[in-house]
Amino acid sequence: MEASPVGAGELGEDLGWSPCQPFPLVAVPPGCDSGFGKAAARHLDALGLRVFATVLDLQSPGAQELRQCCSPQLTLLQMDLTKAEDIQEALRFIKAQTAGTGLWGLVNNAGFNDTIADAELTPLQHFRTCMEVNFFGTLELTKGLLPLLRASRGRIVTISSPAGNMPYPCLASYGASKAALSLLMDTFQCELAPWGIRVSVIFPGYFKTGSSCNPEYWKKRKHQLVASLPPELLEAYGEEYIEEINKQFLDFMKLAVEDLSAVVESITDGLLSPRPLVKYYPGRGLGLMYFIHHYLPHGARDLFLKAFFINPKLPRGLQPKTLPGTPPHKP
């Protein structure tokens, strides 16, 4: 379901503000130096909201771009969601800056993944890193801002992923962290309703963000993964197996949409609409995908995901073995 774009001029009485009140403050953590975060920060700033946008590197090209194209109201903060001290410093700053105005909304934009591989091939540390960024860091930041959001009866908008709803091949670590995040936000949606806080979750389709479509980045990550695997595990699957799934992933990402406006409109609607949706699904093909997921047998869903995303070939250890001296089979 698509969002109905809401402009700053449409807010007024529906959200309980008078014309003499300042526009609300919105925190958009982290990753605002690229992708959805940067696009959302620019759009919300253009609507007249004061935005706290967090980035990993204050000197990154994306951070520099935000400084140049946004109003002086936008504030950039450095934050790494895997570092508790960074989160606490950002919380202290935002609380101090909003003491007299309040905080209207929080946009959770964290999304980390750097491995395309079966769960058995994915290092355990990678599962932990995905959970630290995509779940625990987001949880800590959200909990830290809840007193301000309760006071304003504000909004929480979180970007999750369809990979957190269904078993995409070779995305176990990322999908597991997004599944945990989605369930957490569903729980918040129920628990915070009596406080007047509205919680929305966005499940985007396939968009071109950050390094997600950079072939050199994924080539480097593939080589690092192969080098880290125990010899017996690499022998069981074969390096050619890992090569093939990464090739299929890059072919799939060529279809990613460059225009991020559908996601930005969903974020804006979740923050500013008098009647925000609980779930948003911006992106092409998601309706069919969720129909198959919810109404057809799991086997049909799994076949669809393999045809649509990645269809791994047989690992080396499962391939028929040719006996010495046996001529190769001809179809």
Question: With helix as H, strand as E and coil as C, how does 2-22 read?
Answer: CCCCCCHHHCHHHHCCCCCCC
Are 107 and 271 in contact, with CB atoms under 8 Å apart? Answer: yes
Q: What is the mean pLDDT of residues 191-216?
A: 89
Strands, sheet with 105-108, edge to edge from the N-terminal-most edge strand = 75-78, 50-55, 25-28, 105-108, 155-159, 198-202, 279-280
Which tens digits make up the pLDDT trace of 42-57? Answer: 999 999 999 999 988 8
The domain segmentation of the chain, as residue ranges, is 8-208+258-301
CATH H-level, domain 8-208+258-301: superfamily: NAD(P)-binding Rossmann-like Domain (3.40.50.720)
Q: State whether residue 272 is helix, strand or coil.
A: helix
pLDDT higher at 10 or 282: 282
Token pair, residue 297, equals: 């047998």
pLDDT higher at 257 or 33: 257
Cα torsion 85, 80, 159, 33: sign: positive
- Other Cβ atoms less than 10 A from the Cβ of 307: the count is 9
Q: Which of 174, 206, 237, 280 is catalytic?
A: 174
pLDDT higher at 249 or 1: 249
- Other Cβ atoms less than 10 A from the Cβ of 64: the count is 14
pLDDT score recorded for residue 161: 95
Q: What is the largest CA-CA distance in the chain?
A: 88
Which of these, 286, 28, 2, lies nearest to 161 by C-alpha position?
A: 286
pLDDT score recorded for residue 29: 61
Token pair, residue 147, equals: 């007193």
Which tens digits make up the pLDDT trace of 155-200? Answer: 999 999 999 999 999 999 999 999 999 999 999 999 999 999 999 9
- Residue owning tokens 């000197």: 59
pLDDT score recorded for residue 285: 84
- On the question of pLDDT at 6 being above 90, the answer is no
Distance from C-alpha of 263 to C-alpha of 283, rounded to nearest angstrom: 8
Are 80 and 56 in contact, with CB atoms under 8 Å apart? Answer: yes
Which tens digits make up the pLDDT trace of 97-122? Answer: 998 888 999 999 988 999 999 999 99
Are 161 and 250 in contact, with CB atoms under 8 Å apart? Answer: no
Parallel, antiparallel, or unpaired: how do β-strands 105-108 and 75-78 relate?
A: unpaired
pLDDT score recorded for residue 134: 94
Which tens digits make up the pLDDT trace of 75-92? Answer: 999 999 889 999 999 999
pTM of the model: 0.88
Q: What is the DSSP string of 136-187?
A: IIHHHHHHHHHHHHHHHT-EEEEE--GGGTS--TTBHHHHHHHHHHHHHHHH
- Residue owning tokens 């006996």: 323
Which tens digits make up the pLDDT trace of 214-269? Answer: 889 999 999 999 999 999 999 999 999 999 999 999 999 888 888 999 999 999 99
Mean pLDDT rounded to a whole number for the chain = 87
pLDDT higher at 10 or 313: 313
Question: Would you put residue 244 in left (φ > 0), alpha (ψ -120 to 50) or beta?
Answer: alpha
Share of the chain above pLDDT 90, in %: 67
Q: Verify whether residue 174 is a known catalytic residue.
A: yes
- On the question of pLDDT at 302 being above 50, the answer is yes
Distance from C-alpha of 319 to C-alpha of 206, rounded to nearest angstrom: 33
pLDDT score recorded for residue 328: 53
Taking the mean position of all CA atoms in its chain, how far away is CA 256? 15
- On the question of pLDDT at 38 being above 50, the answer is yes
- List residues bridging with 11 in a β-sheet: none
The pLDDT confidence band at residue 321, using thresholds 50, 70 and 90, is confident
Taking the mean position of all CA atoms in its chain, how far away is CA 281? 13
Phi, psi of 207 (to 5 degrees): -120, 155
Distance from C-alpha of 203 to C-alpha of 164, rounded to nearest angstrom: 9
pLDDT score recorded for residue 4: 37
Residue 288 CB contacts under 8 Å (≥ 6 apart), including other chains: none
Burial of 9 (0-12, 13-18, 19+ CB in 10 A): exposed
